[in-house]
Structure 1
Amino acid sequence: MIIGSLVALITPMMDDGAVDKSKLDELVEFHIEQGTHGIVAVGTTGESATLDYEEHADVIRQVVQKVGGRVPVIAGTGANSTHEAIDLTQRAKEAGADACLLVTPYYNKPTQEGLYLHFKAVAEAVDIPQILYNVPGRTACDMANETVLRLSAIKNIIGLKDATGDVARGRELIEKLPADFAVYSGDDATAVELMLSGGKGNISVTANVAPKKVSQAAIYAIENNAEMARTVDASMASLHANLFLESNPIPVKWAVHRMGLCDAGIRLPLTSLSVEFRAQLEESMLLSGISLK
């Protein structure tokens, strides 16, 4: 089972929007050195929606090669077309990813039966461990706990990224799921509480900026050391909030840039963090012990 702090890695870009391959390698090394337990390539935070098809596959391939088996690599391969999700998932398998992360089909607003059949089709088509991803605030599609329970019976569907922020709902689901099915938080502000309720990790935006602290908090929480987990997490409370001053990944890309780890490049229709929010974000970084450059 993949556990711990799983960074939802940004895709570094130059000022003209081109993928910065050298900085991508450097970010992978940075996270391994800082104790991140796994890397999610080309998820929401990795700008999956602005990369073209070939770039998407290339970034996954490069991350897998640079990681070299040192930590698990989870590839974002979700799509609102089942055919496209199958193709991306197959490409990720061929690239050597350890697992895939598949978001609920966005915009289409499928029924719960449609969601079940979509994920079932991908799982049956590509023999690789697959993690469901429910983020209704972005997709306008909420996968019910009952649908997750149905899908947990499919052998290579191994987990769920729950980005609802509803800890009570997550706790109720965890209590009903088989023991070998992992629930991961997709909401940094509530991640520690979900892990203290039986979640196995945090697919984290904040880990891009404070990887060591997010890793520490995750391990304390998984080990049920509530006091230490909450203490470490509390030191990042303002950072968790301010990394969503504008739509993800706008703030986190600016934050990683201010750490001197990459250029500020981002692709339209996303734009660089608004000037009015920069001081607020940078103050929360400093409060969390992060140096600016």
Structure 2
Amino acid sequence: MITLVRKFEGIIVANLTPFTEEGVLDETAYREHIEFMIERGIHGLFPIGTMGEGINIPLEEKKHIIDVLVDQVKDRVDIIVQGTCVNTAESIAFARYCYEKGVHAMALITPWFYPYDEENLYQNFSAIASAVPQMPIFIYNNPDRANNKLSVKLYKRLVQTCENIVGVKDSSKDMVLFQDYINELPEEAIAISGSDGLFYLSLCAGAKGIVTAIANSHPEIFVALWNAYNAGDKDHACEIQKEINQMRSIFKIGPYASGYKYAIEKRGLKFGGFRLPVRDLNEKEKEAFENAYSSAEFIKKWER
């Protein structure tokens, strides 16, 4: 395994992508949102993933997003970019671009749509890893979205044969599988949870951090849980997790990801909408969100 110069731990935000009415990156909103999160203590960003609409963004636009992101972050927090594209060759081109621009790590989701066997997946991941041998790489397991699962057997094979594959980001919500990723791999392999609702349990299992969607608008609650857990106050951490789960149920009002983007504006930020086929909340959904949000008194303490 390559020697890491960054820890890749803590609160890593699956940051959303704001678009203008013309459907292009709203650079001003993007930069302001990055500052909002960094000022509140996050440890990393995870752009162009599921929440960032990466599947709907062409390669050249992804490169522009990386340019803006790297320029704004200025090495203050970790940047882990979701790098799987529509085919392996494009993924390699994007990984090389990210490495040249100073991105800290890549996360590669299993290729989607077609069912692939383990040899397919191994060849894909190993080809990308060998193209950027100094870039730390996480394998990203999200079978509900990608239709292909990362087995423990394949993950072990990749870590053993590709020196720069350093860990896994797991969004399966399968805690048994997540524990196997941790228990059956070398201690230095980094396991990161991808489920807001399982943050506390994942830390107990040995996770080094979380890639979180809610922290786009409310990073404070995740930083607080992380700090409480690491200070040994697990009872308080567990109580915070209960509030995260309540918040999560509110943010799931409406179509996929729309509530999370709407919540950013609740924090006083201007944040653009989606690019079709993903859509914003309609008026009825906004009303339902507003009612649930305003009724959740506990949220106010995380907005000071």
TM-score category, normalised to shorter length:
over 0.9
Deviations 1:131-169 (A, max 9, x none): 111111111111112111211222211111100111122
1:168 aligns with 2:176: yes
Match of 1:34 among 32, 40, 54: 40
Whole-angstrom CA distance in 1 between matches of 2:249 and 2:118 = 31
Conserved 8 A contact 1:77-1:102: yes
Q: Are the structure 2 counterparts of residues 97 and 55 from structure 1 closer, same or farther at C-alpha, using a change threshold of 3 Å? A: same
Residue 68 of structure 1 corresponds to: 74
Whole-angstrom CA distance in 2 between matches of 1:181 and 1:270 = 35
Whole-angstrom CA distance in 1 between matches of 2:173 and 2:281 = 24
1:267 partner amino acid: R
Residue 228 of structure 1 corresponds to: 236
Residue 55 of structure 1 corresponds to: 61
Residue 117 of structure 1 corresponds to: 123
Larger Rg: 2
1:260 partner amino acid: G
2:100 partner amino acid: E
Whole-angstrom CA distance in 2 between matches of 1:164 and 1:46 = 18
Match of 1:108 among 107, 111, 114: 114
Whole-angstrom CA distance in 2 between matches of 1:63 and 1:11 = 11
Conserved 8 A contact 1:186-1:203: yes
Q: Are the structure 2 counterparts of residues 36 and 149 from structure 1 closer, same or farther at C-alpha, using a change threshold of 3 Å? A: same
Q: Are the structure 2 counterparts of residues 140 and 238 from structure 1 closer, same or farther at C-alpha, using a change threshold of 3 Å? A: same
1:149 aligns with 2:149: no
Q: Are the structure 2 counterparts of residues 223 and 180 from structure 1 closer, same or farther at C-alpha, using a change threshold of 3 Å? A: farther
- Cα shift at 1:227: 1.3
- Cα shift at 1:173: 2.1
Structure 1 regions of 5+ residues with no counterpart? none
Deviations 1:69-114 (A, max 9, x none): 1111111211241111111111111111000111110012211221
Residue 205 of structure 1 corresponds to: 213
Structure 1 stretches of at least 4 aligned residues deviating more than 6 Å after TM superposition: none
Deviations 1:163-212 (A, max 9, x none): 01111221122111111111111111112211111001100101102101
Q: Are the structure 2 counterparts of residues 247 and 145 from structure 1 closer, same or farther at C-alpha, using a change threshold of 3 Å? A: farther
Whole-angstrom CA distance in 2 between matches of 1:79 and 1:222 = 36
Paired residues, number: 292
Q: Are the structure 2 counterparts of residues 240 and 224 from structure 1 closer, same or farther at C-alpha, using a change threshold of 3 Å? A: farther
Q: Are the structure 2 counterparts of residues 263 and 209 from structure 1 closer, same or farther at C-alpha, using a change threshold of 3 Å? A: closer
Q: Are the structure 2 counterparts of residues 80 and 145 from structure 1 closer, same or farther at C-alpha, using a change threshold of 3 Å? A: farther
Percent of paired sites with the same residue: 27
2:252 partner amino acid: F
1:136 aligns with 2:119: no
Residue 273 of structure 2 corresponds to: 265
Alignment RMSD: 2.0
Whole-angstrom CA distance in 1 between matches of 2:195 and 2:42 = 17
Conserved 8 A contact 2:159-2:166: yes
Structure 2 regions of 5+ residues with no counterpart? 1-6
Q: TM-score, normalised by structure 1?
A: 0.93
216-225 vs 80-89, which moves further: 216-225
Q: Are the structure 2 counterparts of residues 27 and 166 from structure 1 closer, same or farther at C-alpha, using a change threshold of 3 Å? A: same
Conserved 8 A contact 1:79-1:104: no
1:289 aligns with 2:295: no
2:30 partner amino acid: L
Conserved 8 A contact 1:239-1:284: no
Whole-angstrom CA distance in 2 between matches of 1:222 and 1:109 = 40
